[in-house]
Amino acid sequence: EAQVTQNPRYLITVTGKKLTVTCSQNMNHEYMSWYRQDPGLGLRQIYYSMNVEVTDKGDVPEGYKVSRKEKRNFPLILESPSPNQTSLYFCASSFRAEANTEAFFGQGTRLTVV
Amino acid sequence: AQSVAQPEDQVNVAEGNPLTVKCTYSVSGNPYLFWYVQYPNRGLQFLLKYITGDNLVKGSYGFEAEFNKSQTSFHLKKPSALVSDSALYFCAVRDGWSNDYKLSFGAGTTVTVRA
């Protein structure tokens, strides 16, 4: 089954404790991105990757890191999480970076930083 | 710069009645428009997109949307709503002339269809 898989689905952590949210897709997609969803703000892009070893900042990159060493994986790293990073996070992938391709989303990771 | 506005936080309709979810957009270049739906505890699912061609686009689950360039709108419609259509709906836009392929989302509209 074609899908984008995120882990974990739920995570509660403490301020300053490094964490990684994994994202993997099995569709051989080139383009991957991370979003955070906050009430009243919709989805905002954190980082995106147009292909292996190519990543760039989205609208809200502060406090986050990403890497794209393999085509299928695009982990999101929070080196020192803070309470304002409490949010619902989505990973998405698209066949290519072209503007006319739709995105496939993971099921989300609900992160709480206390 | 690009942006999307969904003017209604919530839309409530009775089952069997027409459903409309409004979306307006702003882009510098050529608009590529998308609708996604999010069911509780699920990721976003693609419904339909407008890239070029016919202004009326048909998508999944009986939904359609009409692109109106002069009004910069891309409203989502369904002729006869079902209770199972209750969900959170997002409109999104990409600038077809941009090199970063950024997808910008609206704040979302919660649709409730009552039996």
The tens digit of pLDDT for each residue in B8-59 reads 999 999 999 999 999 999 998 889 999 999 998 888 999 999 998 899 999 9
In degrees, rounded to 5, the angle at the alpha carbon of residue A36 between the alpha carbons of residues B99 and B89 is: 90
Identify any residues that bridge with A4 across adjacent strands, giving them in sequence order.
Answer: A25
Residue among A44, A98, A107 whose CB faces B42 most closely? A107
| Residues within 8 A of B (CB atoms), A 68-97 only | 90, 92, 97
Between A and B, how many residue pairs show a Cβ–Cβ distance under 8 A? Answer: 64
Is the CB of A100 less than 8 angstroms away from the CB of B96? yes
Q: What is the mean pLDDT of residues B83-100?
A: 90
- A81 pLDDT more than 90: yes
Distance between A9 CA and the closest CA of chain B, angstroms: 10
Confidence band (pLDDT; 50, 70, 90) for A1?
Answer: confident
Cis omega (within 30 of 0) for bond into A8: yes
Q: Does A108 touch chain B (CB under 8 A)?
A: yes
Q: How confident is the model over B46-91, as pLDDT tens digits?
A: 999 999 889 999 999 999 999 999 999 999 999 999 999 999 999 9
Is the CB of A99 less than 8 angstroms away from the CB of B42? no
Identify any residues that bridge with B105 across adjacent strands, giving them in sequence order.
Answer: B92
- Contact call for residues A14 and A83 (beta carbons, < 8 A): no
Return the residue in A46, A105, A107 with the most chain B beta carbons within 10 A, the one to mutate for interface testing: A105
Distance between B110 CA and the closest CA of chain A, angstroms: 11
Distance between B84 CA and the closest CA of chain A, angstroms: 19
- Lowest average pLDDT, out of A5-9, A57-61, B39-43, B95-99, goes to B95-99
Nearest CA in chain A to B95: A99
In degrees, rounded to 5, the angle at the alpha carbon of residue B9 between the alpha carbons of residues B27 and B82 is: 105
pLDDT recorded at residue B1? 79
Q: What is the mean pLDDT of residues A39-64?
A: 93
Residue among A41, A50, A99 whose CB faces B32 most closely? A99
Confidence band (pLDDT; 50, 70, 90) for A99?
Answer: low
Q: Does B107 touch chain A (CB under 8 A)?
A: yes
Q: What is the mean pLDDT of residues A18-32?
A: 96
User: pLDDT over 90 for what percent of chain A?
Assistant: 85
Confidence band (pLDDT; 50, 70, 90) for B96?
Answer: confident
Distance (Å, rounded) from C-alpha A47 to C-alpha B18? 38
Q: Does B39 touch chain A (CB under 8 A)?
A: no
pLDDT recorded at residue A97? 67
- A90 pLDDT more than 70: yes
- A74 pLDDT more than 70: yes
